[in-house]
Amino acid sequence: MSNEILLLSGPNLDLLGTRNPEIYGTTTLAEHVERFRRLASDAGFSVRHVQSNFEGDLIEAVHARGDAVAIVINAGALTHSSWALADALDTFTGIKVEVHISNPAAREPFRHLSTLAGSVSGSIAGFGATSYELALDAVRRLTSTSS
């Protein structure tokens, strides 16, 4: 069984650390990914990270997931509009965790809809950088119960 987690980062997440720090904090995407990788390694997982500002690239990454045990995805604004990404996630039968640094339900009304919610195992939102750690913990716990 694979121990790889596919970590997907959507549009504008490459601007973390400088974009709306009052909402998203000052941690950069590279710092989030490095911390996630370190914690994942400590838990026995490897991580493949893909960031793109283009919907099709994220869909292709889901299609090329190999034998990943889980997908952790922060789709950014595509969360609220990408039925195509939801369809791609539907093709993966492993663990899928939707992550948000902020709490979309506490923000503008257009952010209240997640087109991905029905295609993922669960969602974690609103805990800042800790959201990624909680997603990893969910993957760890769910993989240990399915073995």
- From the candidates 32, 49, 100, 132, give the one annotated as an active-site residue: 100
Annotation marks residue 132 as catalytic? no
- From the candidates 24, 32, 49, 132, give the one annotated as an active-site residue: 24
Annotation marks residue 24 as catalytic? yes
Residues paired with residue 99 on neighbouring β-strands, in sequence order = 124
Count the Cβ atoms, other than its own, within 10 Å of residue 33: 18
CB 72 within 8 A of CB 51: no
CA dihedral sign, ordered 77, 83, 85, 90: positive
CA distance 115 to 108: 16
Give the catalytic positions in this structure: 24, 100
